[in-house]
Amino acid sequence: MTAAPIDLYFWPTPNGYKITIALEEMGLPYAVHYIDIGKGEQFAPDFLAIAPNNRMPAIIDPDGPDGAPLSIFESGAILQYLARKTGLFCGPSERDRIAVDQWLMWQMGGVGPMAGQAHHFLHYAPQMDPPNDLPYAKNRYRAEVGRLYGVLDRQLAKAEFVAGDVYSIADMAIWPWARGWERQEQTLDDKPHFARWLDAIAARPAVQRGVAVGEERRSSAPPDRKAQEILFGVKKP
């Protein structure tokens, strides 16, 4: 019997790609429902019923733990759920699972928020109407992302993957953010282990399929005034 597809509420961002990568790696069927965050679709009542924090991604698994549908928001929680559901990519032992969880939390609390702020202040804010080119903010978040990637490089000097010698949801969580190192104005010259890992993850067929989802909907253009108001709460003076 074929499993019913998981409903994925998604937009092509690093957090969204965490879940498409995981679903592809785990071989789980899924149906994509695009939530256009530039148009404010994350505030629709139907989506808020699934993701009350108005952030994507979110999922509905029609075959939850008790056989009933289950909705989940927050990308880290979704990754942990999918890993437990399948028994894949969460580590073969309890010690391994603890390592996976700690690096997953490191991404959720560090790389994601800091790289997101770096993207915002280095690229979005200077192009806003009116421009907000803030050297302190740019330097602050650029430096913090660099520090975090230094931590990651030192960890990867000791092991093939982030949480050890087994590929895991921690790698799936970190890589979609880390692959944007150039736009975060970082360097790989002093991070050879980080560079090796980036290439190794990028070469995985399931990762390639995951980041192809919604690729045609991505845009490098700065948000227009309406999108700025929706995404950043910027009101026209």
**Which architecture characterizes domain 94-203 according to CATH?**
Up-down Bundle (1.20)
Query: Tell me: the pLDDT tens digits for 86-124?
Result: 999 999 999 999 999 999 999 999 999 999 999 999 988
pLDDT band of residue 128 (cuts 50, 70, 90) is: confident
| Predicted confidence (pLDDT) at residue 81 exceeds the cutoff of 70 | yes
Q: In whole angstroms, what is the distance from residue 162 CA to residue 175 CA?
A: 10
Convert the pLDDT of each residue in 136-180 to its tens digit: 999 999 999 999 999 999 999 999 999 999 999 999 999 999 999
**pLDDT at res. 140:** 97
Instruction: State percent of the chain over pLDDT 90.
Output: 84
Which one of 3.30.420.40, 1.10.357.10, 3.40.50.1820, 3.40.30.10 gives the CATH number of domain 6-88+218-226?
3.40.30.10
31 against 124, higher pLDDT: 31
Q: Cβ neighbours of residue 7 under 8 Å, at least 6 residues apart?
A: 30, 31, 33, 59, 60, 61, 62
- Give dist(CA 143, CA 154) in Å, integer: 17
Q: 234 pLDDT exceeds 60?
A: no
Q: Which residue has the tokens 């087994």?
A: 166
Please say if the pLDDT value at position 230 is more than 80. no
27 pLDDT higher than 60? yes
Adjacent-strand bridge partners of 71: 60
Q: Is the fold of 6-88+218-226 the same as that of 94-203?
A: no
pLDDT at 192: 98
Contact indicator for 61, 82 with CB cutoff of 8 Å = no
At residue 96, the pLDDT reads 96
The structural domains of the chain, with segments of one domain joined by +, span 6-88+218-226, 94-203
Considering the chain, what percentage of its residues have pLDDT values greater than 70?
A: 92
Residue 8 pLDDT more than 90?
yes
